[in-house]
Amino acid sequence: MPRRRKLRKIVAPPGFRGYKPYGFRGGRNNGHVDLLYEEYEAIKLVDYDLMNHLEASSLMGISRPTFARIYESARRKIAQALAESREIRTVYGNAYMDKTWYICNDCNARFTIPDSINHYTCAICKSENISSVTSNN
Ligand SMILES: [Zn+2]
């Protein structure tokens, strides 16, 4: 029986779908790297929120060695994207969130919908063209 992969808790999805390089030599498409949501979260917690690995791993509900692996993988992917002028795309990976997050396909806003509301529209522009972030794109 395949072992179920342990999910990594993240606080919020990235506020973007990806990053694209511009103005680089050749100007052609060099491909992309897939940055998992949990990798994005690991980088953000340590290098933006300035937490240590112990704090960050407990916030994500994983062991410190597992956190260190995710963090290392995130750094390598970002370094590869920079060094090779590659696009970065965010993908869901093995993350989970306390709330269901949605992406607006019209204005790219990220938002949650309170349980008390059953009308699913963008919190910013009121578009009905929204998707759950758990689905890829
Ligand atoms: Zn919108």
Q: How many whole angstroms from 137 Cα to the centroid of ligand 1?
A: 15
Q: How many whole angstroms from 109 Cα to the centroid of ligand 1?
A: 6
Report which of 17, 30, 32 is spatially closest to residue 103, judged by C-alpha positions. 17
d(CA 131, CA 137) in angstroms, rounded, equals: 8
Residue 12: CB partners within 8 Å, gap ≥ 6?
97, 101, 110
pTM for this one?
A: 0.79
Domain holding 112: CATH number? 2.20.28
| Residues spanned by the domain of 14 | 1-98
What pLDDT is stored for residue 107 in this prediction? 92
Q: How many whole angstroms from 15 Cα to the centroid of ligand 1?
A: 13
Q: Are residues 83 and 116 in the same domain?
A: no
**In the chain, how many domains are there?**
2
Print pLDDT tens along the chain (137 aa): 555 667 888 888 888 889 999 888 776 778 999 999 999 999 999 999 999 999 999 999 999 999 999 999 999 999 999 999 999 999 888 888 877 888 899 998 888 887 777 778 998 899 999 988 874 44
Q: Are residues 3 and 57 in the same domain?
A: yes
Q: How many whole angstroms from 38 Cα to the centroid of ligand 1?
A: 25
